[in-house]
Amino acid sequence: MQSVLRTPEEVQAWHASLGSALDLTVVLSNLQVEYDLHIVVPDGTALYDSSRYGADDDSASLSGLAGGEYTIYISSPFGDVSDTPYMLQANVTPIEGP
């Protein structure tokens, strides 16, 4: 997926519905300015908050997630925007049972 933050205060939300126990990897790339990646679990608890600085790629690898609705937020912590779209990739891997 790709998108552009058009205003300094814009926050974009992407939703991932997971049907069972899974591992989730999310990569935010093609950044021209600093954007932050946040992942929130179904009960509203922050599971991942970006802590890197600059326009480097950001990624989160989360293991053993229960099924449910997860929200991925993209924001600009310093109000920077760019006309170049960022890229967001989410990969889901089923957890193998015993």
Number of domains in the chain: 1
Beta-bridge partner residues of 58: 28
Q: Is residue 97 part of a domain?
A: no
User: pTM of the full predicted structure?
Assistant: 0.89
Confidence of residue 47 (pLDDT cuts 50, 70, 90): very high
Interval 42-46 mean pLDDT: 87
Residue 20's domain spans which residues?
2-92
pLDDT, position 97: 61
Residue 65 pLDDT > 80? yes
Q: What is the pLDDT of residues 66-80, one digit of tens each?
A: 888 999 999 999 999
User: How many angstroms separate the CA atoms of 95 and 63, rounded?
Assistant: 9
Q: What is the CATH number of the domain that holds 69?
A: 2.60.120.380
Confidence of residue 18 (pLDDT cuts 50, 70, 90): confident
